[in-house]
Amino acid sequence: METNDIPKGWWLNCTLMARKENPSWIVGVLREGKTTWITEYVKGDLDSSREAYKVGMAFIQKWRAKRGLEVDHKWERQMKEGKF
């Protein structure tokens, strides 16, 4: 997990949900707007910070691809190779 891999204008907030039983992770995916950060996606019940990061990065790549924007193929290749 490398924060430098997060595309410019995006922010991943990976947080531990500190429950007494069954702690889990949550990821919030935020996109930079003109004056504020816009929450684009949130997913919880994840097993680790690594999984939260992967889910967030996958969302960003899908969001960009849907809009015809450049997708980071290096990141996709690393996911397939299990480097996350």
Average pLDDT of the chain?
87
Number of C-beta neighbours around residue 75 at 10 A: 20
Percent of the chain with pLDDT over 90: 54
pLDDT recorded at residue 4? 72
- The values of phi and psi at residue 75, to 5°, are -65, -45
pLDDT recorded at residue 1? 59
Flag whether pLDDT at 19 surpasses 90: no
- The values of phi and psi at residue 18, to 5°, are -80, 85
Say which residue the tokens 């003109």 belong to. 34
Flag whether pLDDT at 65 surpasses 80: yes
Query: Cα–Cα distance between 8 and 6 in angstroms, integer?
Result: 7
Strand-pair partners of 30: 11, 39
Query: Cα–Cα distance between 78 and 43 in angstroms, integer?
Result: 22
